[in-house]
Amino acid sequence: MNALIQFWSNLPLLLQTLIKGLAVILVIFPIGGACSLVERKVSAWMQGRPGPNRAIPFWFAWVPVLGPFLQKLGVFHLMADGGKMFLKEDPVPGHVNKFYFTIAPLVAMIPALTTVTAVPFGAYLDGAGQMVPVVLANLDVGILAVFAVSSLGVYALILAGWASNSKYPFLGGVRASAQLISYELSMTLSVLPVFLWVNAPGGSGSLSLFNVVQAQSGVWQGFSTDSLGGVWYVFLMPVSAIVFLVSLFAETNRLPFDMAEGEADLVGGFHTEYGSLKWGLFFVAEYAHMLVGSGVFVLLFLGGWNPLPWLPLFKLAGWLHLANLPIVLGLLSIAIFLGKTLFFIFVFMWVRWTVPRFRYDQVMKLGWQKLLPLAIGNLIVYAIGIAIHELQLGWLAWLALIAATIAAGWVALILPEKKATL
């Protein structure tokens, strides 16, 4: 292991960067294609039909058992769709702004591929017994980097809609800009309680996603506050988790929030004039955003690569005698992390094929009048709660905070909405 690390460290920085970039592309593109196939199979399963199950190369049709099995899975449809996307003729309409029309899909791919580098997807124990993250770029401002770069994805949709020089794509681009900006506020506010909790007052502070996972890696220490270090934040901060997840659906333009596409009223939305490879790049970028967003959710609220609450990876490594096998432990941690992440990819698909699309006014109302006040209130409650914990104000302060939170929630629920009048 040390020899491998030494060999990697001795490589020129430019070569390391090139290898990392190729690794990201070689992982994200196949996963994006596989997700498109899985989504078709999931939708078929939910609607009681077989889904893609016909395509098979003639030379593979004679293979017993394996050939029919792979055909029913639809694996060869993935190969056919990928070949068609790369080889199909890609005419450019004469009325579009050709330069911006062409670069819009590339602009969509850049944030999707870049954010992957700041997301840790595993960990292992070094010689000193310390956890080391498996990540392409271990940034101390990890969540800030993810939010900053992923927010640039909206410019691709705006650019595609404007450059198409057509009314339906233009409306799709306008919808995308309003929707993504609206839900970014709620998403950002939803993660602040997590980092308030992780960073002790008076410390140096960090926005590292790896540190968030480490803060959820405690063991059971009896019925005391010391055991909170092993609780996943989805149980400790459920409102933050719900707001983040709903905002993630909106940020990735997935049903019921796909206002930028809306086939019923916008034909195809921002990508109406696109086809072939350019069209495919938009949807690879969408699946990449789903993958990164699900990974960030797992890191923030589901313990990352820790198998269970109060069962951290290092404890499991001790039981399985993997502490001195960093490669095996790293692969195990990646498998645990990917298992949780792929579950949420399935949740994205599940919701798409079960929940009807919202109206545009409902999307804006949910973002500004529901999620944003909820995220702000949640932040205030946790800020006060952390202050009570740090100052050791006692149980009376906790009872007052709980009573005030219940009262505020009750007022928000029963307070009648003021009707707009002309």
Tens of pLDDT, residues 189-233: 999 999 998 887 766 778 889 999 999 988 888 777 777 888 999
Task: Indicate the pLDDT class of residue 94, thresholds 50, 70 and 90.
Answer: confident
| φ and ψ at residue 7, rounded to 5 degrees | -65, -45
Strands 123-125 and 131-133: antiparallel
Where does the pLDDT of residue 417 fall: very low under 50, low under 70, confident under 90, or very high at 90 and above? low
Q: Looking at residue 2, what is its pLDDT?
A: 59
Residue 422 is predicted with a pLDDT of 46
Say which range, 59-73, 116-130, 255-269, 375-389, has the weakest mean pLDDT.
255-269
Phi-psi region of 65 (alpha: psi -120 to 50; beta: other; left: phi over 0): left
Distance CA 151, CA 184 (A): 8
Task: Give the rounded percent of residues in the chain with a pLDDT score beyond 90.
Answer: 18
Q: What is the structure's pLDDT at 203?
A: 64
Segments of 64-181 assigned E as strands: 123-125, 131-133
Q: Each residue of 17-50: pLDDT tens digit? A: 788 778 888 888 888 888 888 898 999 988 888 8
Q: What percent of the chain has pLDDT over 70?
A: 95
Contact 82, 33 (CB under 8 A): yes
pLDDT of 175: 87
Break the chain into its structural domains and give their ranges: 2-51+88-414
The reported pLDDT for the residue numbered 379 is 92
Q: Whole-model pTM?
A: 0.90
* pLDDT tens figures, 137-148: 888 888 988 998
Task: Write the DSSP string, 179-222.
Answer: HHHHHHHHHHHHHHHHHHHHS-TTS-----HHHHHHHT-----S
Of 194, 249, 238, 264, the residue nearest 366 (C-alpha): 249
What's the whole-number mean pLDDT along residues 365-371?
88
Furthest-apart CA atoms within the chain: distance in Å: 76
Once rounded to an integer, what is the mean pLDDT over residues 341-352? 92
In 3D space, the residue among 298, 269, 300, 273 whose CA is nearest the CA of residue 286 turns out to be: 269
Q: Which residues of 147-159 are buried (b: 16+ CB within 10 A; e: fewer)?
A: bebbbebbbbbbb
pLDDT of residue 195: 92
Q: How confident is the model at residue 63 (pLDDT cuts 50, 70, 90)?
A: confident
Note whether 241 and 193 are within 8 A (CB). no
More confident residue, 243 or 261: 243
pLDDT surpasses 90 at 245: yes
Q: What are the two backbone dihedrals, phi and then psi, of residue 204, each rounded to the nearest 5 degrees? A: -75, -30
pLDDT at 419 over 60: no
**What's the chain's average pLDDT?**
85
